[in-house]
Amino acid sequence: MVSEVARLCFTLQHIPEKTNTKADILSRKDQVNTKEDNKDIQLLKEELWSRRMSVNITIIGRKTIMNECDIIKEIKKNNTREKEVIQALNKGDELTWEEDRVVYMEGRIYVPNNKKIREEILEENHNLVDVRHPRQQRMLELIKRNYWWLGIKEDVRKYVQGCFKCQ
């Protein structure tokens, strides 16, 4: 490395700050005192950061669609967990934790291997009023906002392929 630099023909020359007119403005020290700036000012309320569950119940014909609170109750009743989830919990990293009998993986609610619960989540996210029958990618995006389970992508793919209206 030194021999390569020695072959180059250049000189290093110091330019004092006052004469260096092209100095980057970000390289200069900021003289503003920001210690007291925005002290005790909260722009976003704490409620916006807390996890909220909806309590909406939709009745279609004689069938009551399970709402998110019901889904959480079903998840709490179901204690089965896949091997990967147990390993992640035992690892004790910040991405996986258990709170009130609900496991959170990567900040999302872990859905155990229960066909009824998973199908209810898939159905709710496929038949939303504002995004009726989203395609596979959009539906996956919607579900992944709140839920996590092994094979979620495959379950969404199968569900969308089985939807008569989406074909």
Predicted confidence band of residue 53 (pLDDT cuts 50, 70, 90): very low
To the question of pTM greater than 0.75 for the whole model, the response is: no
Q: Which are the contacts of 160, defined by CB distance < 8 A and separation ≥ 6?
A: 126, 135, 136, 139, 166
CATH of domain 67-161: 1.10.340
What confidence tens digit (pLDDT) does each residue in 118-153 have?
Answer: 999 999 888 876 677 888 999 999 999 999 999 999
* Res 8: pLDDT: 72
Domain boundaries, the chain: 67-161
CB–CB of 78/116 below 8 Å?
no
Higher pLDDT residue, 49 or 52? 49
Element (H, E) at 28: none
